[in-house]
């Protein structure tokens, strides 16, 4: 693996983990909600953004974390492929 590919992979993993942290914050934000309409909208938003997410059960929460990581990882890879000159990464 070349240095550029290693840097790209490391950065993509970092971005993926950052998106997982944002997902966890989104789950924690749910605890602060009291309005049933806002709770319903929040759940609908999660179901829309994270295919396979069904609710706040353990399997859905883990699956949402996996999908969040994949979104961040792939988003970073696509960004760097489209902007290969950015951040000192050259193909």
**pLDDT the model gives residue 88:** 58
- 40-49: which pairs have CB atoms within 8 A and are 24 or more residues apart? none
Give the model confidence (pLDDT) of 10-68 as tens digits.
Answer: 999 999 999 999 999 999 988 898 999 999 999 999 999 999 899 889 999 999 999 99
More confident residue, 3 or 61: 61
pTM given for the model: 0.82
């Amino acid at each position: 693996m070349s240095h550029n590919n290693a840097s790209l992979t490391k950065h993509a993993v970092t971005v993926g983990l950052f998106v997982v942290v944002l997902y966890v914050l989104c789950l924690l934000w749910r605890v602060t909600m009291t309005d049933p309409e806002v709770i319903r909208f929040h759940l609908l938003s999660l179901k829309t953004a994270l295919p396979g997410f069904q609710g706040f059960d353990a399997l859905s929460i883990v699956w949402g974390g996996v999908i969040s990581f994949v979104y961040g990882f792939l988003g970073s890879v696509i960004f760097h492929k489209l902007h290969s000159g950015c951040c000192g990464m050259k193909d």
